[in-house]
Amino acid sequence: MSSERRKPFPFDVFEPVWQAEWDAKKAFHTANPGDADFDATKPKFYVLDMFPYPSGSGLHVGHPEGYTATDIIGRYKRMNGHNVLHPMGWDAFGLPAEQYAIKTGQHPRTTTEHNVESFRGQLKRLGFAYDWDREVNTTDPGYFKWTQWIFLKLYDCYFDELSQKARPISDLAAQGLSRDDIDARRLAFVSEAPVNWCPQLGTVLANEEVVDGKSEVGGFPVERRPMRQWMLRITSYAQRLIDELAGLDWPDGIKMLQRNWIGRSEGALVDFQIEGGEKVTVFTTRPDTLFGATYMVLSPEHPFVESITTAPKRDAVLAYQKTVSSKSDMERTELAKEKTGIFTGAYAINPVNDERIPIWIADYVLMGYGTGAIMAVPAHDERDYEFAKLFSLPITQVVQPPDGKEWQGFCDDGIAVNSGFLDGLPTAEAKAKIIDWLAERRCGEQKINFKLRDWLFSRQRYWGEPFPIVWEADGHHHAIPESELPLVPPDLVDFQPTGTPEPPLSKATDWVQYSATARRELNTMPQWAGSCWYYLRYCDARNPERFVSREAEKYWMGGGKPGGVDLYVGGTEHAVLHLLYARFWHKVLYDLGEVSTPEPFQRLVNQGLILGEMEYTAFREGTGVLVSAKDVKDVREESVDGKVKLVATYKLSGQMVIGERVNEDDVEKVNAVFVLKSNPEIAVDARSFKMSKSRGNVVNPDTVIQQYGADCLRLYEMFMGPLEQVKPWSMNGVEGQSRFLARVWRLVMESDQEGNWSPSPQLKDVPTDKKLAKAINETIKKAGEDIEKLSFNTAISAMMVLTNTLTQAEVRPASVLITFMRILCPFAPHIAEELYSRLRLAFPALATSGFVADCAWPTYDASALVDDEVEIVLQVNGKLRDRITVPIAITKEDLEALALANDRVKEFIAGVTVRKVIVVPGKIVNVVAN
RNA sequence: GCUCACGUGGCGGAAUUGGUAGACGCGCUAGAUUCAGGUUCUAGUGAGUAACAUCGUGGAGGUUCGAGUCCUCUCGUGAGCACCA
């Protein structure tokens, strides 16, 4: 008992009380159109968090960052008379649960349920104003029924190029297409193409899930192999996914990432006749350099390679193909520096000048992009240049750099030269002209190419949504009837991957057999499936009839104008994957008339990563003991730049004695940024790292809540700095917020000798004086404006200023404190509720009954903000010389006269001539004199 | 290599249209209170000086009465992409 530190205010008592109170009264229940308590006169506001994957390790401090931000906005909008939708749920299918299950033998459903339970508890302890009645869980059959239903929508439509829209597949049947042709047009289709197979994970992966030839999860090698897989035709939407980014209020960086990922490039297809053979089509973005094409390169996997290779070259070509195919994607990119390749012995004819150009194969040409073949223009492409130099191939300059510069290797745009009928044309015109020329002769056409590949949508996993598809003995697939949804995965005891591409569901022999003739699809959907549409389900989370009712969707997603979720907050890690997939699904649903807006998320904000506490490392050259040994822990020898040096981790007990910045030339560059004031020989490097278990710098939100309270954690995370910025954790900073809240508490309450709290005698029901009126009105204004700007750190700072002013006031008008609680409520809801209720007890006439969270956001009185007097800065030649206080209504002339009569100003204009006086009313007077 | 973003005290960060640089918090210093303090309160805290002067927003130029803010160049840091023809 005695060892436990006394709490500066009893958050540990009142926080759970209010949380229970909100729960019991369903304080943040949100009504839908059609509900009895729905108020149609209010505007809607849909504020969304990226729902978490309920991992076994629980919430980390990054979660409450975004969640607190949306909670503040949501509560603020609520107080401002909006119908606010602010829900939470669980993205609970996925690899980690399954892998944990394999390790422990527990069913993934059990561990998932357990983890969800603990996540929900943690979030409730943070006091977020969620409508828990709308909680969703992607692994709930009532939820994934509709994930499967949406899949069937994708299965049952095709992309109509003419209207650039998805249309029902029945259109095609009406046109008399064959069954195979129809299957080949579906947005969800089966493909036999090479896919990313990860043997360790025992599953295939989407392109987006492979980073540098390794799996994004786990970092295992990934190989390409042809397999029969389900694909989603996201490429059809490539253009719309780019175009419709324009209207979104998203960070530029994320838009750019998506644009790059989709990778649109304009160019042309050009046919080259192979001598004594067929035509090879290449894609180029620079058709204007066709005259400079001196050789051609095919990807080693190109289907023509076999037929065109001449007999003498056959062995060498086969050997090269073999080396390339044995390389993993990773090796292929890692060894990107040196070019390799081999001549096939074949020649192609350049259509523009009938020149014979040799055909090579090289692994710098990728089968997956364009046509898998290029025309090489070494004079104007860096890669082709390198290759041509290496193999002594001819280089012909066909573009003259602008501004008369010399051609040196390669160049971008310029004027065409050595190019026959293109000579003299600037690049853009040359491109247009050559495309026309090629089109006339039917050996080329304009072409827009995308990097984006179709989305590989099946996984060989147990813990995911089964496909609502069956296969007939004749090899055809078809959908199961909607009435059979949800299709629940069979209960397996052994859900280990089979180690082969055969999915684990194959082990459920009874389940697999759908009918006498048909077997079920054994693959499952990837984790992304559930997160592609969860924001829609929140609008109408318990609807058994539809994935979301039309009215609810129309209301919350705001059919018409821009529409969509009003604010979506989450980390950058989903910049391409989730955000691209969700946009794609949404557009399909929009085309099919199932939703009312073309885009799901109107405004997106990325919260910045929270790094671990700053770490200080102190060291010095040579041997010897560090002087401030008591401050330095963990001294060890380490090799820095090949030399052994003394390195020490510097962990002061809450103190940090760091001196001035030193000249970088004077210290070792590796670590030294600072020197100790007490001992200039010791350099100290301060930096923070990503939180990780191995580094031991992970901060657990539960610990913070226990020690300082949920309000304090919320406030601290918002005060750290701008929401979108990367910032280091600081336990001292948390203390600071705790002190602030304790000061707020003591504005209202005071304690006696025994530590009992009672209302402060300084609180009085008195009229507000001018000074305090100004202070409270300024806070209302600034906090409100800052919340709108998501500038929470400055809003909190405004409340601190108010607190400091109130602390100094001898008498604190109760009405001011009551207003203050309404401002504080979105940020620190528990203490605001507690103090509001205590204020109401002491001053029943001044406060309304009910939650402070249900109060209206206070309005400020603009007249209280203006002073009678204003401080004016006096400058001479732009330098501050004095400040004077003048009546607000002073004329420009009088102000100028006052300035020139000022002693300090006179001092500085003595002996020189006044040239000009600049008067900015209410701000400054600048006297220009020389 | 390419693209984007960012450089402000000992630290995290504030600064409407160009108009008092450093709000607020941490840390630090001194004093008071307390049996005690990881308590609270008061004052101070960019450098520099006895005090002024002066110098200060990565660096160098420029525009302006006036620049953290606008322009040019340059250096550094972080993130993303990386044979995409």
Q: pLDDT category, A651, cuts 50, 70, 90?
A: very low
Separation of A861 CA and B47 C1' (Å) = 42
Going by C-beta distance under 8 Å and a sequence separation of 6 or more, which residues neighbour residue A512? A505, A506, A519, A520, A522
Angle at alpha carbon of residue A804, lines to A803 and A810, rounded to 5°: 95
Residue A631's pLDDT is: 36
Mean pLDDT (whole number) for A462-480: 95
User: Is residue A49 over pLDDT 50?
Assistant: yes
Residue A825's pLDDT is: 97
Provide the whole-model pTM: 0.90
Separation of A742 CA and B40 C1' (Å) = 11
**3-state class (DSSP) for residue A204:** strand
Q: How far apart are CA A370 and CA A926, in angstroms?
A: 64
Annotate A30-41 with b (16+ C-beta within 10 A) or e (fewer): bebbeeeeeeee
Mean pLDDT (whole number) for A343-369: 91
Q: How far apart are CA A437 and CA A444, in angstroms?
A: 8
> What token pair was written down for A252?
């530029």
CB atoms within 10 A of CB A589: 25
User: Is residue A560 over pLDDT 70?
Assistant: no
pLDDT digits (tens, 9 = 90+) for A718-738: 999 999 988 889 888 999 999
Phi/psi of residue A45, nearest 5 degrees:
-145, 120
Separation of A670 CA and B76 C1' (Å) = 14
DSSP A263: T
**3-state class (DSSP) for residue A10:** coil
Q: How far apart are CA A659 and CA A680, in angstroms?
A: 8
With CA atoms as reference, report the closest residue to A463 among A144, A744, A767, A187.
A144
Going by C-beta distance under 8 Å and a sequence separation of 6 or more, which residues neighbour residue A529? A93, A138, A147, A151, A457, A464, A465
With CA atoms as reference, report the closest residue to A416 among A288, A266, A284.
A288
Q: pLDDT category, A929, cuts 50, 70, 90?
A: confident
**pLDDT higher at A678 or A229:** A229
Separation of A920 CA and B52 C1' (Å) = 28
A37 alpha-carbon distance from chain centroid: 36
Smallest CA–C1' separation from A362, nucleotide: B83
Smallest CA–C1' separation from A257, nucleotide: B80
Least confident of A320-324, A524-528, A803-807: A320-324
pLDDT digits (tens, 9 = 90+) for A275-292: 888 899 999 999 999 999
Separation of A880 CA and B63 C1' (Å) = 22
Q: Which residue is nearest to nucleotide B65 (CA to C1')?
A: A928
**pLDDT higher at A161 or A499:** A161
Q: How far apart are CA A414 and CA A112, in angstroms?
A: 60
Q: Which residue is nearest to nucleotide B26 (CA to C1')?
A: A733
Smallest CA–C1' separation from A873, nucleotide: B20
Smallest CA–C1' separation from A609, nucleotide: B79
Q: How far apart are CA A319 and CA A314, in angstroms?
A: 9
Q: Which residue is nearest to nucleotide B6 (CA to C1')?
A: A725
Q: Specify burial of residue A520 (Cβ count, 10 A radius: 0-12, 13-18, 19+).
A: buried
3-state secondary structure A795-837: HHHHHHHHHHHHHHCCCEEHHHHHHHHHHHCCCCHHHHHHHHH
Number of alpha helices (DSSP H) and beta strands (DSSP E) in chain A: 29, 43
Separation of A183 CA and B64 C1' (Å) = 69
With CA atoms as reference, report the closest residue to A633 among A621, A645, A616.
A616
A541 alpha-carbon distance from chain centroid: 25
Separation of A913 CA and B53 C1' (Å) = 21
User: Nucleotides on strand B with an atom closer than 7 A to protein CB?
Assistant: 3-5, 10-15, 19-21, 23-28, 37-42, 54, 65-67, 78-85
Smallest CA–C1' separation from A658, nucleotide: B10
Smallest CA–C1' separation from A807, nucleotide: B41
Q: Which residue is nearest to nucleotide B39 (CA to C1')?
A: A8
Q: Specify burial of residue A780 (Cβ count, 10 A radius: 0-12, 13-18, 19+).
A: buried
Separation of A802 CA and B24 C1' (Å) = 11
Residue A10's pLDDT is: 92
Residue A677's pLDDT is: 41
Residue A857's pLDDT is: 97
DSSP A426: B
- Evaluate whether A206 touches A424 at the Cβ level (below 8 Å): no
**3-state class (DSSP) for residue A374:** strand
Range with top average pLDDT, A94-103, A265-274, A561-570: A265-274
Separation of A722 CA and B69 C1' (Å) = 19
pLDDT averaged over chain A? Answer: 86
Separation of A634 CA and B56 C1' (Å) = 38
Phi/psi of residue A672, nearest 5 degrees:
-75, 125
Mean pLDDT (whole number) for A554-564: 79
Smallest CA–C1' separation from A660, nucleotide: B10
Smallest CA–C1' separation from A384, nucleotide: B85
Q: Would you list the DSSP string of A137-171? A: ETTSHHHHHHHHHHHHHHHTEEEETTTTEEEETHH
Helix (H) or strand (E) holding A879: strand A879-887
User: Is residue A413 over pLDDT 50?
Assistant: yes
Residue A627's pLDDT is: 27
Q: How far apart are CA A181 and CA A175, in angstroms?
A: 11
A295: β partners? A376
**pLDDT higher at A654 or A413:** A413
- Evaluate whether A269 touches A439 at the Cβ level (below 8 Å): no
A872 alpha-carbon distance from chain centroid: 45
pLDDT digits (tens, 9 = 90+) for A631-643: 333 333 333 333 3
pLDDT digits (tens, 9 = 90+) for A740-757: 999 999 999 988 777 788
Q: How far apart are CA A664 and CA A446, in angstroms?
A: 55
Residue A574's pLDDT is: 84
Smallest CA–C1' separation from A721, nucleotide: B13
Separation of A634 CA and B34 C1' (Å) = 37
Q: pLDDT category, A472, cuts 50, 70, 90?
A: very high
Tokens 């058709």 found at? A287
Residue A616's pLDDT is: 65
> What token pair was written down for A316?
């060498």
CB atoms within 10 A of CB A865: 13
User: Is residue A335 over pLDDT 60?
Assistant: no
Separation of A97 CA and B25 C1' (Å) = 41
pLDDT digits (tens, 9 = 90+) for A252-268: 888 888 988 898 988 99
CB atoms within 10 A of CB A23: 12
